[in-house]
Structure 1
Amino acid sequence: MTTPALSPLLTVRGLVRRVGSRQLFAIPELVFPRATAVALTGVNGAGKSTLLRMVAGLEPAPGATVAWEDEGGTRREAPLTPLPPALRQRVAYMHQHPYLFRTSVRDNIAYGLRARGVAHDEIERRVGAALGWAGIVHVQDTAPEKLSGGEVQRVALARAKVLEPELLLLDEPTSNLDGHAREQVIALIGELAAEGRSVVMVCHDRELINLPGVVRWKLGDGQLDTRHR
């Protein structure tokens, strides 16, 4: 018996970005599949980070729409800008250079849950699990400015994971990392994908691109190739 195909997590239509008179890209339809890890590649300046930020609601996307299924299975569609409230808890974005609040690592990871009004006991449980997952229990009471680059990235990944998003958008998650720090972050991203979450990451890191099951998208010449090999 054939397993039915999963419906898309999100479908974005009419995604266009112009810089002055120049059209950076025009993407008629972009389907974000469920339970899939995607490496978004392309030359510098192609608009990869901009694309992710538009989908995350961090940059305006005039004229673009987004379609999804709500928890009851009903199809919904709305303008992408502003990001519909129903999607804000389903999408998480991690900046290439994550900003951490000038408080403890634990407080940074708990911030989003507190903002959502999650009960204290549930926050403690989820933050504790995220600290253990990211291997940063030993720095949970440390101020961010005392962390290494690899630790900052792992804190940012834990802060995103703890929100339990369905779609994680990661901008160059291993940039400026090398050696063991890079290997740790790659392993965590592999685990996120293995959990069945959708992960789209801007990257040039061959090891990330070549992780098992990763699909490659390539942005170039104003077009997005989602079947790139």
Structure 2
Amino acid sequence: MTPVLPLLTVRGLARTIGLRRLFAIDELVIPRATAIVLTGMNGAGKTTLLRMLAGLERAPGATVQWTDANGQSHDAPLDPLPPAVRQRIAYLHQHPYLFRTSVRANIAYGLHARHLPHDEIARRVGEALGWAGVSHLQDTAPEHLSGGEIQRVALARAKVLEPELLLLDEPTSSLDGHAREQVIALVRDLATEGRTVIMVCHDRELINLPGVVRWKLGDGVLDTHHP
């Protein structure tokens, strides 16, 4: 049987703040089709780690290795994030920013940036609106949305890009009640679609989703075999 190659392998990932070493990770193997919860104390560097993987924070000296669709291996500096890797990743902020336009336009933004055909954009955006349960809000401006609706639109905007790796920073932290349950259901869907999902969270319901792998960041070390 042919071994399953990792989605990405990142080496030399480190962050220092002043005289404090936040973390130092010699090698981080990101598997395919795996839901991962990243836990740790506040201030351990969980969000920083996610942002470095997404190319949103500097990662001097780090490298990333990946395999393309033809099976060819590539190795490059992580900083700046190589375009071929950037296309594979979608990042969801803890407090997502939506452009001051309609819900539909927000979800379509990344697809237009990739210059996809208009009919393809319309199809994928329509599917994403339905998936997130926000079709009835497609012409609504973000300032008229609730916190839960904003989070669902942001998840749809990430999903529509069909990323192989989704990085979610505290997707339910500011939600409660029905809004939280709706977002958990969408995250559960993403985690069962064959994508890799890495979530920073303290939500026990997300941590205890079936099949979720738990990573723990603490004392400068990332434990990828945490029970």
TM-score by length of 1: 0.98
Residue 189 (structure 2) pairs with residue 154 (structure 1):
no
Distance in 1 separating the partners of 2:85 and 2:61: 18
Gaps of 5+ in 2: none
Root-mean-square deviation (CA, aligned residues, Å) is 0.7
1:32 & 1:173 partners in 2: Cα distance?
Answer: 20
Structure 2 counterpart of 1:101, from 99, 103, 125: 99
Q: How many Å separate the matches in 2 of 1:186 and 1:31?
A: 26
Q: For residue 144 of structure 2, what is the amino acid of its counterpart? A: K
Give distance in 1, aligned partners of 2:5 and 2:187.
Answer: 23
**Which 5+ residue runs of structure 1 have no aligned equivalent?**
none
Taking the TM superposition and a 5 Å limit, the aligned residue runs for 1:5-44 are 5-44=3-42
1:201 Cα deviation from its structure 2 partner = 0.5
1:206 aligns with 2:204: yes
1:178 corresponds to which of 176, 179, 184 = 176
- Distance in 1 separating the partners of 2:4 and 2:189: 21
Q: What is the match of residue 192 of structure 1?
A: 190
1:5 shift after superposition: 3.8
Deviation at 1:6, TM superposition (A): 1.6
Q: Which amino acid is the alignment partner of residue 186 of structure 2? A: L
For residues 10 and 87 of structure 1, what CA distance do their matches in structure 2 show?
9
Distance 1:4 1:207, change over 3 A: farther
Q: TM-score, normalised by structure 2?
A: 0.99
Which residues in structure 2 correspond to 1:49-128 (within 5 Å)?
49-128=47-126
Q: Deviations over 1:32-65 (max 9, x none)?
A: 1000000000000000000000000000000000
Alignment partners' CA distance in 1, 2:34 and 2:2: 16
Identity of aligned residues (%): 77
Cα distance in 1, alignment partners of residues 63 and 87 from structure 2: 18
- AA matched with 1:45: G
| Secondary structure at the counterpart of residue 165 of structure 1 | coil
- Aligned residue number for residue 44 of structure 2: 46
Q: Aligned with 1:43: secondary structure?
A: coil
1:4–1:183 Cα change, 3 Å: farther
Deviations 1:156-192 (A, max 9, x none): 0000000000000000000110111101111111111
1:225 counterpart letter in structure 2: D
For 2:143, the equivalent position in structure 1 comes to 145
Match of 2:224 among 220, 223, 226: 226
**For residue 44 of structure 2, what is the amino acid of its counterpart?**
A
The alignment partner of 1:13 has SS state of strand
Structure 1 residues 70-121: Cα deviation after superposition (integer angstroms, max 9, x where no partner): 1100111000000001111101100000000000000000000001101100
Counterpart Cα distance in 2 of 1:193 and 1:64: 27
